[in-house]
Chain A
Amino acid sequence: MSDYAVETNMSKGSFGEEYLSLGRNKLVEMFRTMVLIRRFEEMAAKMYSMQKIGGFLHLYIGQEAVAVGSVAAIRDDDYMITAYRDHGHAIARGTDPKLLMAELFGKYTGTSKGKGGSMHFFDASRNMLGGHAIVGGQIPLGTGIAFKIKYRREDKVCLTYMGDAAVNQGTFHESLNLAALWKLPVVYIVENNLYGMGTAVDRASAVTELYKRGCSYGIEGMVADGMNVFSVYDAIKEAAKKARELSLPTLLEIRTYRFRGHSMSDPDSIYRTKQEVEEEKQRDPIEQMKKFLLEEKIATQKEIDDIDAEVKKVVAEAVEFAENSSEPPLESMYDDIYVS
């Protein structure tokens, strides 16, 4: 087991000075994106309670550093694919919040023309290949995307995200074996937020250190701290390098936490205590990053406040755009079923 299960950089990703080398612009942009995701989702929750948004709405609040840290560590032409808790990934990738809010509203101007909703954010122009709602369903797809990268000898990598509960689906195991057998440039990212709906990891997985599951397939396992954007960034950098240079897969477990219920209708008090949630909130990834920016004098409090105000405006404009957009025409239900 020890050959593959590398206990890595839980500690390495500190908030140390070495990250100053990323440059002020990048650091501030990472912070802004996390704040944008947070405010976008707070607004989405509000719109849900006003019944502007329907269906299932799974919020990413608390996990923002995972999407932001990972996207910051790859290139624009790399690929990514994820599950249904996908707002953060699309925003981190740069999709216009207007189009995403319109999708949540089920409007024709939305990213999927009102067909997909919250669980199905796609932006093919940015190589963000979805939001997928069947647990584990996207894992073989990410593997296939990596297959194409190798087939075409491209200098790219595919980030394949999933929740901690998805590792118990057959697709996870089949995919890891294929990726190792055929040496595919894929990074499997398990966003371990400790629960799959109401089921804690230790009630669902016999081996709770999920990164160790790479062993069975000869895939290196790594862990990162999902509340620290730099820990995520470092781990992805390393895994992506291995994918590009050696065409090897990685299984990266990122320890994180969702501050909200599983979806809007989840009474999370059944399976976790208020105290636990409050304790986790002390590690809020946005607050930690803010502290770093202030302490290292990368940004002033005024600049931070300005970012917050600017982001709120972006979100308000997204809502206005969604409100004013038109419903999909009825005939559009027959569109986009086949390529015509």
Chain B
Amino acid sequence: MPEITYREALNQALAEEMERDDSVFIVGEEVAQYQGAYKVTQGLLQKFGPERVIDAPISESGFTGLGVGAAMVGLRPIVEVMTFNFSLVAFDQIINNAAKMRHMSGGQLKVPMVIRGPNGSAHQLAATHSQSLESFYSHVPGLKVVMPGTPKDAKGLLKSAIRDDNPVIFMESEVIYGMKGEVPEGEYTIPIGKTDVKRQGKDVTIVAYARMLGVALNAAEILAKDGIQAEIVDPMTIRPLDDEPILESVKKTNRCVVITEAWPFAGVGSEIAFRVSSKAFDYLDAPVELVSSEDVPMPYSKTLEHNVLPTPEKIVNAAMRVLYNSKDPGKSED
């Protein structure tokens, strides 16, 4: 299988789906002439022309709402937000219009659209530009939320998202746009709403998604040196959450650590931890641990930023705690 970057994988998915269906178009800031702020849409203007690859003014509420309207009457818009932080300007259009249209019309209308772009922190972009917003969108019935962590998943899931008849929030990550990985040649899709086991292990289950998948895999390597075999489970889709494979894994390992780049309070991490605690209670040998970002706005300082985010070390420590193997026993009480 060829190795390509996460960015190229997304680009291929966009090109293939636009080729396949002329109702698919892309709108967003700097997507056309500039070739994408993060180059995900590179070459698409040249391939599909300015009627289908459209540069928008900085009017997120306007062009996202335009996407919802176009979708209501049969087009399949892909709205690129330069980053998900800016989707907050369009929050009303997404939550009140895109998510509710099917329901409010009693099933008469559908909104087949994708809202995609990078989510989470990059490097020292400070409080307004470093947010992991998946918990906000995952809260809302009517939306699907997809967060791939590898090039292969990114391509297969984006193709499914574009073909899906519902509004899909598709969250990428600037930090892993350059990550390389094997991607099957030729046509394939990966279904939305399917959890995947990324690494087999018998000692502890680590649930991680999106950019945190790589961080968790690094932690698993460190744990392996201590003879601990972590199983890494990647939901890939946050909503609808396929929790069965997570529960299956926990039934085998009896221990679970959940990783999220989002804030800890009322988040995706706590939802997953809750499901494991309630549905696999009898199998757990330790309370579920959550490794999230610290409960603070992201500071600009490099040192502070590094310490706010989950790291392999923090994940290793959490795994040690659920294994009652802590080198820092005081920590297991918190």
List residues of A whose CB falls within 8 A of some B CB. 54-56, 103, 106-107, 112, 114-117, 119-120, 133-137, 165-166, 168-170, 196-199, 203-205, 270-271, 327-328, 330, 332-334, 337
Contact = CB atoms under 8 A, between A and B. Distances in A.
B296 A133 contact: no
17 contacts: A54-B302, A106-B304, A114-B299, A116-B127, A117-B126, A133-B126, A165-B57, A168-B57, A168-B62, A170-B62, A196-B58, A199-B33, A204-B58, A271-B33, A328-B304, A333-B296, A334-B296
Contact of B300 (A106, A165, A330, A337): A106
A105 B301 CA distance: 8
B29 A55 contact: no
A215 B60 CA distance: 24
Given A198-B34, A199-B30, A271-B33, A332 B59 contact: no
Contacts of B125: 55-56
Interface residues of B, number: 35
Interface of B: 29-30, 33-35, 37, 55, 57-62, 85-86, 88-89, 123-129, 294, 296-297, 299-304, 307-308
Which of A103, A199, A204 counts the most chain B CB atoms within 10 A?
A199
Given A106-B302, A134-B89, A170-B61, A115 B126 contact: yes
Given A117-B126, A168-B58, A199-B57, A328 B34 contact: no
Given A119-B126, A199-B30, 16 more contacts: A54-B123, A54-B302, A55-B126, A115-B126, A115-B301, A119-B129, A134-B88, A134-B128, A169-B58, A170-B59, A196-B57, A197-B29, A203-B55, A330-B304, A334-B296, A337-B296
B300 A55 contact: yes
A205 B35 CA distance: 20
Nearest to A112: B300
Given A165-B57, A196-B58, A197-B37, A333 B299 contact: yes
A169 B33 CA distance: 21
A240 B125 CA distance: 34
A105 to B, nearest CB: 9
A166 B58 contact: yes
B85 to A, nearest CB: 7
B53 to A, nearest CB: 14
A112 B57 CA distance: 31
Which of B61, B126, B299, B300 counts the most chain A CB atoms within 10 A?
B300
B31 to A, nearest CB: 11
Contact of A327 (B29, B58, B303): B303
B126 A270 contact: no
Contact of A120 (B29, B37, B300): B300
A322 to B, nearest CB: 12
Contact of A197 (B34, B129, B303, B308): B34
Nearest to B88: A134
Nearest to A117: B300
